[in-house]
Structure formats: structure tokens, C-alpha cells
Amino acid sequence: MPQGNAEEPPQEARAGAEVRDRERLVLIILAAVQFTTIVDFMIVMPLGPQLMRTLEIGPAEFGLIVSSYTFAAGAAGLVASSIVDRFARRSTFMVLYAGFLLGTLLCALATTYPTLVLARIATGAFGGILGGMTMTIVGDVFPEHRRGRATGSLMMGFSLATVAGVPFGLFLGTNYGWQVPFFVLVLGGFPALVLTPYALPRLDSHVRKAHAHPLRSLVATFSHANHLNAFALIIVLMIAGFSVFPYISAYFVANLGMTEDQLPLIFIVGGALTLVASPIIGRLADRFGKLRIYRILTPFSALWFLAITHLPPVGVAVIVSIYGALMVCNVGRMIAAMALMTSSVEPQQRGGFLSANSSVQHIAAGLAAYGSGLIISQSADGKLEQFGVVGWIAAASTLASLWLAGRIRPAQSPVLSAEEISLAAAAEATADAGEPLLGTIEMG
């Protein structure tokens, strides 16, 4: 009697498995690029004590190094918001990432304060738009009901950058010179650029639709009530974070007695905690609502901002614990906030909106970093003064965001076909079973 063959899986299951593999590849490449861009941006902040010493600059000049990146990113994002939806996502993404790596190379070749500022401007011009494009791809690939999970998974790139990239870069900068981390980033980022054409879908269906004049698109983006609410939310979030984080390493060293060799520990612990928390918070946001999770985490974030900016000299363990708690709350609220904002715009406007949002985000961050540099002063013994005032500003901005988040309304979800509903159901079942995120995308 012939042996019976195992029953072939249904066509929908095979299609669902193919979709899962493709989405996994998308998330991997996006997280890799996210890792590179975040390390490039963040590494300047913990290198603050060394940069201020070797370049012989003060807090205000250091604040300009940080904010020059964000100002350039904001200006470039503003221009991109009016035209980015006219091009395919994949080709736009590749051009931006190539320009970003070139800017990072210029940072590695800089030897003086003016050349470093110019190099950070070049890097920010591409990196700022790249951040918005990454979130645009997430919005195009993943449906709204699983976008929180996708955003949480993408934020793992931030966590890995914090737990591994920044400490390693700080080690290289401390021992071999501050330019070395930028050289390593260029070498490490190049493979992701090469793999991008194979990892990302074309995502060009929006190109075939009619587009308004760039100036009219820009006006429409900044006149939509829902967009303005989202912009206001990201502004207060950036004021809260970037009034504190650029100076936190210098504060730990000058005021709390940490050594520069101990600084990597706070980033390792903070990154490890967010690495674990990010996907959990993303799932909770999808299950219980993004706004609810945001409202739960935000008051804790304000509390930790106050705590960390008013610390007396304490043990390293206490500093690391409070910093870790702040990082979890801060990253968690950003996951919920970005998922809220991504869901607030129609798909055909998503690229322009998120580029504009990235522009507003970077300009606000730059103003916050530079403004804090004007508030903070340095005493004769090297300690930072008025850092507590900055902490109160951060806490107040954080609490103000609670009202703004409640004003954001989701865009109407598109009507799905029967095939898309079937694939989404299979994807959802597997995701609930613990598989990586899925979705329906068009691969090139």
C-alpha cells in the first residue's frame, strides 16, 4: 500500500510564511540602518567631556556640535517633505543612506571645531530625512493594528545602539581619539547599503498617484489640524529629551564623580533594559491602545528627569539604575507616540508628513540642546551649574505632552481585500504565537 504523503499546507499558509520572511528581512535592514544612524548621532553626547577638553570649547560650543546636526536635519526634512512622496521609497532610502555615510566619513576626517560642525551639518542633512523615511517604510509595510509591534521592534535598533554601539564607540573614542568611532561606523554601515536593494520592497505604488505642487504639498502638510497636533507633540518630547541628554555624560563626570571609563556602563545597562522593554511596550500598545500606554509611561518619565538632574554625588549603581529607568520610560513613550503619529496620516501623504515630522523633531531637538547650553554654566572647578533648572523644563514639557497626545486622531484605515484580510489573519495568529512581525508588502 503506498505511503500517504503529508498534506500540503494551504496556499494562504505558504503565502503567509513568505510574507513573514520578507517582513523579517525588512525589519532587519531597517534596524541595522537605525543602529548606524543612532550611534552616529548619540556618540557625540557621551564624548562631550573629551570634545570639550581636546577642542578647548565650553558647554555652549558643545551644544552647537549637537544642534548643528539637528538643525541641518530639520532644514533638509522640511524641503524633503514637499517632494519625497514623488519617488519610490527604496531608491530614496538608498540615496539618503549613502549621503549619510559620506557625512559620517567627513566627521571622521575633521580635526578642528569648525570642520566638525560643518561635517555634522552634512551628516544631519541626510540623517534627518533618513529617520522619517524609515518610519514611512514601517507605515507602508505594516497595518495599523500591528504597527506598534513593528515600531517596538525597530526601536530595538536604538536599544542595541545604546547597549553595544555607543559604549564601544565611547571606548574607541576614549582610547584612540574621538574621530575613530566615525571611521568604524562608515565601515560597519557600508554592508547595509549594499544589501538594501535585496532587503527592501519597491514601495512605489504611491508614485503613480497625482501629486500637488511641492509648495502646495508643504502648505497642506503644515495646515492639517491632525498634523499640527502631531508636530506639537514631537516638539515638547524633543524639548524634554534634548534639554537633558546631551549634557548628561558631562554632568555625571563633573558633578557626580564618575570617570570617563565608567560612562559606557550607563549606556550598556540603559540599552539592555530598553532592548527588553521595547518589543513588550510595542505589543502592549497594540493590545491596550497606544494612547493609554503613552499616558501610563509619561508621568514616570517626568519623575526620572527630575531625579537624574538633581542627584547629589552617589554611587555608580544608583546613577545607572535611575538612568536605566529613565531610558525605559523615554523609549517606551516614543514607541507609543510614533505609532500614534504614523497612524494619524493617510498612506499617500505619509512620506511627506513623516519627513516634515522628522524636520520639526530635529529643529526642536537642536533648539533644546543649544538652549540648555545657554542655561547651563561651568564653574571654575569644571562642574555644570543650573542643570536642575533644565530638569524642571524637561519634566514640565513631558507632562504637557499628555494633553497633546490626546488630540491626535487616527486616519481612516483603508479597505482591505479578501486576500489581504486572509493574510493579515494568518500573520496575526503567528505573531501572537511569538513569531516575528508580518505584513503584506510588494517586493521588487
Note the pTM of the prediction, 2 decimals: 0.65
Alpha-carbon dihedral of residues 52, 55, 59, 61, nearest 10 degrees?
A: -150
- Whether the CB-CB separation of 254 and 384 falls below 8 Å is answered with yes
Does a structural domain hold residue 369?
Answer: yes
- The distance in angstroms from the start CA to the end CA of the chain is 46
CATH number where 140 lies: 1.20.1250.20
Does a structural domain hold residue 13?
Answer: no
The percentage of the chain sitting over the pLDDT mark of 70, rounded to a whole number, equals 76
pLDDT at 371 (0 to 100): 87
Between CA 10 and CA 20 the distance in angstroms is 16
- Whether the CB-CB separation of 151 and 103 falls below 8 Å is answered with no
- Whether the CB-CB separation of 172 and 45 falls below 8 Å is answered with no
| Bridge pairing between strands 384-385 and 377-378 | antiparallel
pLDDT at 283 (0 to 100): 84
Does a structural domain hold residue 378?
Answer: yes
pLDDT at 198 (0 to 100): 78
Give the Cβ contact number of residue 412 at 10 Å. 7
* b/e map 125-164, b = 16+ CB within 10 Å: bbbbbbbbbbbbbbbbbbbbebbbbbbbbbbbbbbbbbbb
Q: What is the pLDDT of residues 159-172, one digit of tens each?
A: 677 677 888 888 88
Between CA 165 and CA 394 the distance in angstroms is 26
The contacts of residue 329 (CB under 8 Å, 6+ apart) are 297, 298, 300, 301, 304
pLDDT at 347 (0 to 100): 66
Residue type at 321 in one-letter notation: S
C-alpha cell at 193: 547599503
- Whether the CB-CB separation of 298 and 333 falls below 8 Å is answered with yes
Does a structural domain hold residue 426?
Answer: no
* pLDDT tens digit at each of 444 positions of the chain: 445 454 545 666 655 566 666 777 777 788 888 888 888 988 888 888 888 888 888 877 888 888 888 888 888 877 776 666 677 777 888 889 999 999 999 999 988 899 999 999 999 989 878 877 877 777 777 666 666 666 666 766 666 776 778 888 888 888 888 899 999 999 988 888 888 887 777 665 545 555 555 566 667 777 778 888 888 998 999 999 889 988 888 899 888 888 878 888 888 888 788 878 888 888 888 888 888 999 999 999 999 999 999 998 888 899 999 999 998 998 888 888 888 887 777 766 666 677 777 778 878 887 888 888 889 888 888 788 899 999 999 999 999 999 998 888 776 544 444 444 344 444 444 444 444 343 333 333
Nearest alpha carbon to residue 113 among 165, 178, 174: 178
pLDDT at 392 (0 to 100): 95
- CA of 42: how far to CAs of 101, 163, 166, in Å? 15, 12, 7
The contacts of residue 156 (CB under 8 Å, 6+ apart) are 31, 275, 278, 279
Give the Cβ contact number of residue 235 at 10 Å. 21
The contacts of residue 157 (CB under 8 Å, 6+ apart) are 30, 31, 32, 33, 34, 35, 38
Q: What are the beta bridge partners of residue 377?
A: 385
Domain that holds residue 388: 18-197+222-410
Strand ranges, E, within 196-340: none
Q: Which one-letter DSSP state was computed for residue 206?
A: G
The contacts of residue 36 (CB under 8 Å, 6+ apart) are 100, 101, 185, 188, 189, 192
Helix (H, G, I), strand (E, B) or coil at 412: coil
If one counts the domains in the chain, the total is: 1
Does a structural domain hold residue 429?
Answer: no
